Amino acid sequence: MNSSFRSRFFALVLVAYVLAIVGHFVLLEMYQESLGEIDSIFHPSFFIVWILLILTLFFIYLYKYTQKKYFLTQNIQESDELLALIDDFVCISKTDIHGAITYASSALCKISGYSKEELIGQNHSIFRHPSNDIRVYEHMWQTILKGEVWSGELVNKTKNGEDFWIFGRVIPNLSEYGEVVGFTAVKTDITNAKKIEFLNSQLGLQVDYFNAVIKNANSGIGTMDLAGNFTTVNSVFSNLFGYSEYELIGKNCVELTTQDQQSSASLYLSFAKSHGKIYKVNKSCVRKDGGIINIEMSLDLLPTKKEFVVVINSLEDKIKLQKALNRAELLYKNAAIGFLIIDQKGFINDVNAKTCEIFGYVAHEMRKMHSLALHLNANAYEEFVRAIAKQDKNPFVQLETRLLTKENKIIWCEISGHPYNAKMALQDGSVIWTVMDISDKVQFRDQIIEQSKDLEEQVRQEVEKNIQNQKIYLEDKVSNAKFAAIGKLAAGITHEINTPLTYIKGNLEMIGFDVADIGDVHIKMQIQEDMTKVFTGIRRIENIVESMREMSQKSSEGRERINLYATIVTALTMAYNRSKHISKMYINNQIFEIGLKKDREEFFVEAQQQRIEQVWINIINNALDELVKVDEFDTRWLKITIHQDQDEVIVRFCDNAGGVKEEILESIFEPFVSTKVHGGMGVGLNICKRIVEDNSGQISVHNENGGAVFEIRFKGVD
């Protein structure tokens, strides 16, 4: 309220009061006598009171009136400003009962992007955003239709389709009869608050996200203060050092480095402090258990400038990997096997030195080549590719194939590797093949195959020989057994023959006495002549039986001192039955006849008598076999000589049956060499040789004077 207006008003009131008082007293002077007694309040003496009262009432009214009028003017001015303000800054809309907009504030238009003209008459649902829950609207309508105020948060849609959040109050407008005729909605724009709220939650999520990342990172991540004391670490970090997370917090990073690296660690720390970061420096650190661990460390100063973020990675794996790589590279470079890296199109990407050596190329020449060039021709390559494709079930292929060197020399190679479709292919789809020059091996193998054929033949011959030896052995055994059996039989026979022979001989002798008494000389002579013949016969029987007896009796296999002459006589006796029809036989120029004294000559040796006799019989029989082929009986002879030459006793069997054929002369003592077309196993002389050699003797054969000479030498004994 205006103060000048009030002071002016009160001055006016004061002037009116002064005039009323002056007028009262004037009236009182003029009308004093006539006034009379004061009998009522309407008495003129109360005039002034009345005047003042009326004046006061008048002024109060006037004051009130003027004041009201003033304020009204003032208010109207102010509310217009206010309304404009509200219109500008408060989102208000009014609708009729059906929701049709009757009024929209400028602020609402501004925020929603519509003009007032566009909004008026539109239904309020124009702002409705589909993301709101329909039940919110239902609840709102229920509330406001009852005439109550509804308030709540809603997201609305601008003309451009953007979101804006409001806090709305919907007030029902009532008619003078209390009916709801429309609604006024007052909306507060809370979009920014909502955005902040959203950002806050996003921030929280991100913090959670980063925490999770840090927690699950493969690297050790931690923070430390500017002095290098750890403030937080993740589990990977603490595990790398062998501490628990809590043990590490508060520890100084310099303490963890090895003694010799502590000064450099401090330097790194101050460098990071001044430059904001250090990137991937390698350090050796000491684990809790005292072990040394090599790590790679990066430091980042946080924007607060109060903490570092430390990221560490163990270099152990890296070092191992590096070692493995070095090894692999070394292997690749120096391997005695050729390596070829071939891409999917068949081009050679890389080769090692051995491959170059095998094929005679320089490495860079091969790197441009298609692997086709290594094959004999396109067909061979196709064949090779097909061969690989056939093996697709097998993850590893090994093939022997002929390949071509730079000089077009064909070499045998063994190629192994994984086919293109295998999982073993490199990342770019290329594969590694190994190649070995196996030309030598193949050649060797071919040789071996050839040799094994020879060997087979050799083995076959050897086996045959063994079988033959076995036969000889058996033959020998059988022959021994035969002799033993014959010996036994002979022993029995000689005894049985001896007895009748004894009394035949005795009785014949007695006949001789009786015959002496016969008177007829002629008869006596005849009988005596016949008896002589009988005696001769008996003597022959005796000799044969004795020889048989000797063969049978001397079956002991041990060597003994024997007269070699006697053994020859025995053999000749045994062979006599046959020889007398074939050939004459001489021993030391003496023609042999049954009854030849065995001790006529003496050549002692140490030998197995029976076995030696066997040899003689064999040689004599062989000679007889040949002699029978000579036409005339009279011209046939077998001459046996025995003599001593120094300490050797030499026995020779010489015949005139044409000699041994030259082609078998060398091998006549080998088994199964026989001069006979039929019969004869051809083992006889082989056995003879063995018997002679078993008795430390030697046997040889040569041809002389149209016949064969078998010469046997033994060491003589006294």
Q: How far apart are CA 464 and CA 443, in angstroms?
A: 31
Q: How far apart are CA 282 and CA 263, in angstroms?
A: 14
Measured from the CB of residue 507, what is the shortest distance to other proteins in angstroms? Answer: 6
Measured from the CB of residue 489, what is the shortest distance to other proteins in angstroms? Answer: 12
Comparing CB distances to other proteins, the nearer of 298 and 610 is 610
Pair type for strands 707-715 and 292-301: unpaired
Per-residue contact flags (x/-) with other proteins for residues 533 to 552, judged by CB under 8 A: -----x---x---x--xx-x
Q: What are the distances in angstroms from CA 256 to CA 142, 158, 239, 284, 628?
A: 71, 61, 13, 9, 117
Comparing CB distances to other proteins, the nearer of 73 and 507 is 507
Stretch that binds other proteins, among 75-83, 142-150, 467-475, 488-496 (CB under 8 A): 488-496
Closest CA to 653 of 640, 662, 636, 666: 640
Measured from the CB of residue 483, what is the shortest distance to other proteins in angstroms? Answer: 16
Measured from the CB of residue 549, what is the shortest distance to other proteins in angstroms? Answer: 4
Comparing CB distances to other proteins, the nearer of 67 and 555 is 555
Q: How far apart are CA 208 and CA 662, in angstroms?
A: 113
Q: Which tokens hold the place of 32?
A: 């004093």
Q: How far apart are CA 153 and CA 578, in angstroms?
A: 149
Comparing CB distances to other proteins, the nearer of 204 and 492 is 492
| Phi, psi (degrees; rounded to nearest 5) at 258 | -70, 155
Strand partners, 157: 163
Measured from the CB of residue 662, what is the shortest distance to other proteins in angstroms? Answer: 46
Q: How far apart are CA 612 and CA 714, in angstroms?
A: 11
Per-residue contact flags (x/-) with other proteins for residues 493 to 522, judged by CB under 8 A: -xx--xxxxxxxxxx-xx--x---------
Comparing CB distances to other proteins, the nearer of 313 and 543 is 543
Contact between residue 571 and residue 620 where contact means Cβ atoms under 8 Å apart? yes
Assess 491 for contact with other proteins (CB under 8 A): yes
Q: What are the distances in angstroms from CA 321 to CA 24, 315, 423, 521, 583?
A: 126, 9, 22, 137, 101
Pair type for strands 637-645 and 584-587: parallel
How many Cβ atoms sit within 10 Å of the Cβ of residue 262? 15
Comparing CB distances to other proteins, the nearer of 552 and 622 is 552
Contact between residue 501 and residue 542 where contact means Cβ atoms under 8 Å apart? yes
Measured from the CB of residue 648, what is the shortest distance to other proteins in angstroms? Answer: 31
Comparing CB distances to other proteins, the nearer of 396 and 503 is 503
Q: How many residues bind other proteins (CB under 8 A)?
A: 23
Comparing CB distances to other proteins, the nearer of 418 and 554 is 554
> How many helices (H) and strands (E) are present in the chain, helices listed first?
20, 23
Measured from the CB of residue 501, what is the shortest distance to other proteins in angstroms? Answer: 4
Choose which of 261, 553, 588, 621 interacts with other proteins (CB under 8 A).
Answer: 553
Measured from the CB of residue 502, what is the shortest distance to other proteins in angstroms? Answer: 4
Comparing CB distances to other proteins, the nearer of 69 and 539 is 539
By CB under 8 A, what part of segment 429-468 binds other proteins? none
Comparing CB distances to other proteins, the nearer of 177 and 513 is 513
Measured from the CB of residue 602, what is the shortest distance to other proteins in angstroms? Answer: 20
Q: How many C-alpha atoms does 288 have within 13 Å on its Cβ side? A: 12
Give 314's contacts (C-beta < 8 A, 6+ positions apart).
220, 240, 293, 294, 295
Q: How far apart are CA 508 and CA 527, in angstroms?
A: 11
Contact between residue 563 and residue 583 where contact means Cβ atoms under 8 Å apart? no
Stretch that binds other proteins, among 144-152, 490-498, 523-531, 564-572 (CB under 8 A): 490-498
Per-residue contact flags (x/-) with other proteins for residues 378 to 417, judged by CB under 8 A: ----------------------------------------
Measured from the CB of residue 545, what is the shortest distance to other proteins in angstroms? Answer: 8
Q: What are the distances in angstroms from CA 112 to CA 95, 124, 131, 193, 422?
A: 16, 12, 17, 17, 63
Comparing CB distances to other proteins, the nearer of 512 and 680 is 512
Per-residue contact flags (x/-) with other proteins for residues 213 to 252, judged by CB under 8 A: ----------------------------------------
Positions touching other proteins (CB under 8 A) are 491, 494-495, 498-507, 509-510, 513, 538, 542, 546, 549-550, 552-553
